[in-house]
Structure 1
């Protein structure tokens, strides 16, 4: 079945946003009303191209449940601010690693402003966002697909990423502990992030303030290997002291007055 120009545009934006988005974000990206987005999503759901959820949509076949959608649709304003600051840190021509996190999906969108990047990623969404943009070269790592994260993990993933001389690794995470460091719910994701952090020249971790004080069972990159954290609120104690002790530069993404 052929699609209208508007439907094709909406599908393209969903792909660039990692496969899912809120109606408000789709409306902003397409410069149309949310009602137009809702009508377009409804039509695409009837052709089984997208699935509708409350307040948004996600690409059909990318996930069996909308858990990734829930993550990417939480604190979207904060994630956009964080992404803008991360983009300021990145320079044209860098070789970067980006992971599968929902915050990283927003970072990838902003990195479309940079030129001649070499992007290494295990995220399908990140690869789709940055390929064929401003002279970028994108390498999607192999490995076993994790459906919920829309990314690859495992021995093959780690082996392939070792071929690259990374100027910077950009990670998201699930929780931050002032005593244990940067934490993940997935053991394979924590192992991959920790291994990549050891070889990258610089390590940046981006997260919204809601991750501070949360808990997760697996430790990711060693705290003293991290160069930057980018978040949307200035960390209070004990996190401010912990970041200072670990030698981490904290960058705050705040709204401009």
Structure 2
């Protein structure tokens, strides 16, 4: 039997929420904004996906068709759907490094979004971010203070970039900065496709006590054109697999520690 053309009230609400989020959202974000359970969100997404209104990915959905945020918008959520178990394990390994009351910066990376979800266990954080998703997850929760950086919105990454974001970030003193990257080079360190993202990492690492890099092992073999902060400014790399010999030697030379995330870390 064909589905009725008129969407339900819940479906309309979810579609409008996705539009407010720039065309895509995680189930946890949508549940918070709609004040419903994640299971309700998942059921609604499933119905909308059958109707062709959204595309489902692991942990969320994005709008499709002419009312979506454009050709580049869904790419963040395609990345979110890649290696979700490994990203959750990485987030679990990072959680013990961040204590209640710390001042933390979180970037727009898909792995960083998993870290943000894990940080909902912490209290009284001062969170600074250029990520819409991180802001939705951690604002007005457990006594947190959330600062969303200004600047130009990039729909592809669901975040803000540019001189305004960099200037605002430079006014904070961070206990911990959590960064992702498009590639990790044994010669140059963190590499990015977006030059504005690379520039923002310079501002936040200059104001950081500790810089934690979170990335799956797939980034060890990738490349990108724009360099991030000097690798000697990094403190810790957390990944789901050990780096190869060349990268491991570079980490040692830079003074960067390595932590291996594992299913055991996720269960701890």
Give the TM-score normalised by structure 2: 0.80
Return the alpha-carbon distance in structure 1 between the equivalents of residues 83 and 49 of structure 2: 25
The one of 69, 77, 81 aligned to 1:63: 69
Return the alpha-carbon distance in structure 1 between the equivalents of residues 253 and 55 of structure 2: 46
1:2 aligns with 2:17: no
Query: How many residues of Structure 1 are paired with residues of Structure 2 in the alignment?
Result: 237
- 1:170-229 Cα shifts (integer Å, max 9, x gaps): 100000111111111111100110221112111111000000021110111210000011
Shift of 1:47: 9.0
1:175-254 matched pairs, under 5 angstroms: 175-254=183-262
Partner of 2:30: none
Q: Structure 1's 86 and 55: CA in aligned 2 closer, same or farther, altered over 3 A?
A: closer
RMSD: 2.7
The one of 115, 119, 122 aligned to 1:114: 122
Return the alpha-carbon distance in structure 2 between the equivalents of residues 54 and 84 of structure 1: 21
Contact 1:68 1:102 in 2 (8 A): yes
1:101 aligns with 2:104: no
Partner of 1:41: 45
Partner of 2:34: none
Return the alpha-carbon distance in structure 2 between the equivalents of residues 253 and 56 of structure 1: 20
Q: Structure 1's 147 and 237: CA in aligned 2 closer, same or farther, altered over 3 A?
A: same
Shift of 1:64: 2.1
Return the alpha-carbon distance in structure 2 between the equivalents of residues 170 and 55 of structure 1: 22
Return the alpha-carbon distance in structure 2 between the equivalents of residues 206 and 55 of structure 1: 19
Instruction: Name which of structure 1's ranges 203-212 and 50-59 shifts more when overlaid on structure 2.
Output: 50-59
**Unaligned 5+ runs, structure 1:** 22-28
Return the alpha-carbon distance in structure 1 between the equivalents of residues 60 and 106 of structure 2: 24
Return the alpha-carbon distance in structure 2 between the equivalents of residues 200 and 62 of structure 1: 37
Shift of 1:42: 4.3
1:172 aligns with 2:180: yes
Partner of 2:54: 51
Q: Which runs of 4+ in 1 moved over 3 A?
A: 29-32, 42-48, 53-57, 59-63
Contact 2:57 2:77 in 1 (8 A): no
Q: Structure 1's 85 and 122: CA in aligned 2 closer, same or farther, altered over 3 A?
A: same
- 1:64-103 Cα shifts (integer Å, max 9, x gaps): 2421111010000000000011111111110011000101
Instruction: Name which of structure 1's ranges 205-214 and 50-59 shifts more when overlaid on structure 2.
Output: 50-59
1:158 aligns with 2:166: yes
Contact 1:19 1:125 in 2 (8 A): yes
Contact 1:173 1:207 in 2 (8 A): yes
Return the alpha-carbon distance in structure 1 between the equivalents of residues 91 and 171 of structure 2: 27
Partner of 1:72: 80
Give the TM-score normalised by structure 1: 0.83
Shift of 1:251: 0.8
**Unaligned 5+ runs, structure 2:** 1-7, 28-36
Shift of 1:54: 6.8
Contact 2:186 2:247 in 1 (8 A): yes
